[in-house]
Every structure is written in structure tokens, then in C-alpha cells.
Chains A and B, each alone.
Chain A
Amino acid sequence: MKQEGFFFRTFHLYYDGFRSMTLGKTLWLIILIKVFIIFAVLKLFFFPNHIHQNAPPGEEDDFVAKELIDRATPSHY
């Protein structure tokens, strides 16, 4: 009877649910491939944080200030 606790039942909800999936297995495979592409490929190689890459740590505000002020300065163009 001890096994009927909340955590045990919660565990079995997920465990039995995942084991008995049919279509769900295909969907999970698609989700995992998609999440891998998004986080391990796109984020890692194609979407760096532009400010962190170009501004010294702690001087991000100066970097953005320069960007925003320069783009409004007539001499810039």
C-alpha cells in the first residue's frame, strides 16, 4: 500500500503512459529531432548573442549607446 503514494502514482502515470504510446512515439521522435536542431545546431552555430560577442563584459550599455547614438548622427552617413 505504501506504493500508492502521490509520487509513485505520478511516476507510473508517466511511465505507463510513455510505454503504451503508439502515435506518441513518432511525435516524441519529431519533437526530439526538432529540439536538437533548434538548440544544438541553430542556437549554437547560427544565433549567438550579438552584444555579448561584440561588447566587453560589463560594457554592454556603452556598446548599445554607441550603436543607437551613431545611427542617428547625420555625420555617420
Chain B
Amino acid sequence: MQDTLLTIDPSIIDWSRAQFALTAIYHWLFVPLTLGLAVIMGIMETCYYRTQNPFWKDAAKFWQKLFGINFAMGIATGIILEFEFGTNWSNYSWFVGDIFGAPLAIEGIVAFFMESTFVAVMFFGWQKVSAGFHLASTWLTGLGATLSAWWILVANAWMQNPVGCEFNPDTMRNEMVSFSDVALSPFAIDKFCHTVISAWIIGAVFTVAVSSWYLLKRRETQLALQSIKIGSIVGLIASIGAALSGHQSAFRIAQVQPMKLAAMEALYNGGTDQSLTGIALVNPFVQPDYQNDAEPPMRIAAPFALSILATNDPHGYVPGINDILNGYTRPDGTVELSADEKIQRGKLAIQTLAEYRQAKKAGADEATLQPQLDILKANMPYFGYGYIRDKSELVPYIPVNFYAFRIMVGVGSLLILFFAVVLFFIYKKDITTPRWLHLSAIIMVPLSYIASESGWLVAEFGRQPWTIQDMLPTWAAVSNIHSSSIMFTFFIFLILFTTMLAVEINILLKQIKKGPEYSS
């Protein structure tokens, strides 16, 4: 249905999206471990700085080495995403490049200068700089990576909630009118907190898993015990922090992207006092019949929990998919337009843009152009809806959002339990003996990555069809190029990234098997 209505070959959209997803997913395999291990090695070196015990220096060096391997593998993998913007998503790049480019440029500068400087001091400077300066460099390496993440997440958050910009019909570009609105948007702050905290969990799980492997092999016991202790404390705090920041993210999504929340919940018809679905039978391969079904079959739900999640009020109103499509009135009395009305206003915006540009080229004066500019400005918030042919296009693929959200939350909850159990064994029992717990720690590594990637699936699938929320759907943003060329580079990336991942895992495992190098 959707494909026949498109004005562009749908395989271009599919392959461009697949390629971007592939690149982003692989990139995100490297990034969270970098951010997470930065905290672990920083804490270890702080222990060394405070105690002057050479054990902590050796431990810090060991984790820094694993950090370095992952850091080296991850370098420049994100650049490919920027190539894709210019080639596959050229309309998007031009349309929002002035805004989107700023945080990416800052990220590039921060990443290059801060990380390259302090990484060098961290690895080369043990005998060259003072202990205090070295410790500061280690923490600043982590801070540099975290600041890089900040700017990338600012860029991503802007796509989900475009603020601080104004469309210029002469240049066909959205221009930044408030840097602070873009850089400090509440959506960006929530996204940053949730994403970075989830990265700390990955670092903590990795630390506990490597240490557990040493305990299974009955070697490096002291390193393993101290590392598990630090890893599980960081992990428990981060897991609880991820749950709290996740609640805040969901609250924000409810305000800005209610359709995403409705898709995550498979909430077809909303209302007040909404319950949160624990599990339900949503066919993973078919878009549910949300127009006719009341709710997914075999639904088990927690009363009031969705209203609390979305509004911080057990009786709060949460719109469902049909409410959003048909229009609804918020509790504060403001009216959210129906999809049909938004589509009409979007079409008016695009038509006015065409007329304005034509009149401008014909030499019309400002007084003649001003009414068109006013119409354009009034309808610009709905610009993207002008490309929507059928309102079903506004509904993201529900099964992916529904299950990805549950995997993320489910594994996140399991992680809280896991770290609590590990800490219980550390302080009340003997962590060196339970093999089941050591094996569980190793199994938690892939599980935590799956949870982390699932979070991104929710974030990105949930905002479909938009590349920029309400402004530009994928089929307007994509370049009109041959899908075969995108397909070809997709498989090049698949081979390249898989090779890099295999090389990284190989080198990491070798270094883990080798163990730390003790100075005495």
C-alpha cells in the first residue's frame, strides 16, 4: 500500500535505512564499552593515586589496555555515518545541515583534540608526568569520549525533537536561531543521561564478566575480586540510574513523540488511568490491526503504570495510536490536530513554498511575498505531513517497538538483580566459588549489548516515518540514487565491520588470556 504511493523507488529508502542502521548498530558496539571502561579504569587509577599500592596501577593498566583495543577499533567508524548523510540522505543533509552540522563539528573537534591528547598521556605518560596529571588525563580521556557522545546525542535528539531553528525558504535550509535551545534541549539531556548511563552498565558487565572468567580459571584472583567489586558497584548504580533516566526519557517521549510511546506499548486506544503492558501476543511479522482491535491479545498489564510513566500521574491521559491519528484534546485543553488536518497543513506549506520560490524568481517584491511567508511560517511545523499519502504511514512498525522496548526493560531489570546478587556474594558470601554466577556474568555481556541496541531500535524505529520529527519523512529525505550502489556498499560495510569486530574480539580475548602485567 505504502510503496505504490511513494514518489521514489522504495528500495532506495529500504537500502539507505538498512545501511544506516547497520553502520549505527556496529558503531554502537564499540562506543558503550569505551564510555563504560573509561569509568572503571578511572576508578582503578584513583585507587592507585590514593593508596600508592602498585596493584592498583597494574589493574588500571590492564583495563586501560582493554579500553585501548576497543578505542582503536571504534575510531572513525562513526565517520561513515556522515558519508551516508551526504550521499544517501542528501535532501536531509541540505535541509538541516546548518543545525545538524554544528554539534557534529564540535564533536569532531572535541574528539580529536581532547581524546588524542589525553589518550596519549594516559598510555605513554606513566613515567613522564606526575601521578596527579596522569590521573587527570585518564579521567579526561573518559570525559572527552563522553563529551563526544553528548554532541552526537544532541544531534540525534534534535532529529527527534527539532527545536531552536527556523526554516529559510530562500536557502531551503533550517537555520539555527538558538544554540542553547539545540544544545540543552530537555530531550537531548534525557537522551544523554540514559544513553551514557547505559554505556556504564556495559563497561561494568564487561569488567565483572572478565573477572568472573579469571575466577572460573582460578587465576588473577586479587585483580578479579577487586574488579568485580568496582564493576558491580558501578553496574548497580548505573542500572538503577538507567531505570530512572529511562522513566524520564519515556516521560519526554510522551510529550514530544506520543506515537512512538503508543507503538512501544501497542496502545491502540488511549485514555486516563492507563496500564503498562508487561507482555502481550503481538505478531512480530505483521502490523497489528490497531484500527479495529481494542488491544493486543493475552495482554498482562500493570495498572496505572503507563500513566505514571508518561505523565507522572496515575490518572494521567495517554493517547493511543487511533487518538493520535484522529486528533485528541489534552487534559490542559489544548487540541492536537488529527492526521488529516496535519496533512492538509503540510500540503499547504509545501505548495506555498513552491509558489513563494516561483514568485521570488519572477522578481516579486517583499510586500507581495510577505503573505506567502506568513502562511509558510504558520504551517511549517506540519511541513513533513505534506508528504503523507495515507495516515497509516504515520504509524511505526509496532512489533519491533513493542518487543525491543520489552527486551531493553527486561534485561535492564535483570541487570539490577544481577549486580545486587553479585554484591551480596561479595559482602555476605564468597564470590570466588559460585560457578553459576561466574557463567551468568559471562552470559550477561551479549545480553547487555542486545539491551543496549534494543534501546536504539526503540529510539529510531519508533520515530518512523520521520528522519526529522514532523518535518521530513524518509522518502523525502533520501537521495534519488541507484539502490544497487547502496546495496553494494551495505555489503562492503557488513564485511568491513564484521572483520573489525572479529579482530577486536580476537585481540581482546588474547589480552584477557594473557592477563595483567605485574610490576613486582
Contact = CB atoms under 8 A, between A and B. Distances in A.
A48 B217 CA distance: 51
Contacts of A1: none
Interface residues of A, number: 39
Given A30-B503, A50-B479, A71 B171 contact: no
Tier of interface size on chain B: 35 or more
Nearest to A47: B83
B213 interface: no
B123 A71 contact: no
A48 B76 CA distance: 18
B302 interface: no
A14 B172 CA distance: 46
A35 B76 contact: yes
B100 interface: no
Contact of B72 (A12, A31, A69): A31
Given A61-B171, A65-B357, A68-B476, A34 B500 contact: yes
A46 B485 contact: yes
Given A38-B80, A68-B172, A47 B120 contact: no
B24 to A, nearest CB: 15
Contacts of A26: 507
Contacts of A46: 87, 485, 488-489, 492
B365 interface: no
Contacts, number: 123
B93 interface: yes
A52 to B, nearest CB: 8
B121 A47 contact: no
Given A13-B124, A61-B170, A70-B7, A50 B90 contact: yes
Interface in B60-104: 65, 68-69, 72-73, 75-76, 79-80, 83-84, 86-88, 90-91, 93-95
Interface stretch (B226-234, B346-354, B372-380): B346-354
A37 B475 CA distance: 30
Given A30-B72, A48-B87, A71 B387 contact: yes
Contacts of B123: 17, 24
B7 A13 contact: no
B61 to A, nearest CB: 12
Contacts of A70: 7
A13 B87 CA distance: 40
Q: Which 4 residue pairs across A and B have the least CB separation, nearest first? A: A17-B124, A50-B90, A27-B72, A47-B83
7 contacts: A17-B123, A18-B124, A46-B489, A46-B492, A47-B87, A51-B90, A65-B353
Interface of B: 5-8, 65, 68-69, 72-73, 75-76, 79-80, 83-84, 86-88, 90-91, 93-95, 120-121, 123-125, 128-129, 170-173, 346-347, 350, 353-354, 357, 386-387, 475-476, 479-481, 485, 488-489, 492, 496, 500, 503, 507, 511
Given A28-B72, A61-B170, 16 more contacts: A12-B128, A23-B511, A31-B72, A31-B76, A34-B76, A35-B75, A38-B79, A42-B489, A48-B87, A50-B87, A51-B94, A65-B172, A70-B7, A71-B475, A72-B386, A77-B5
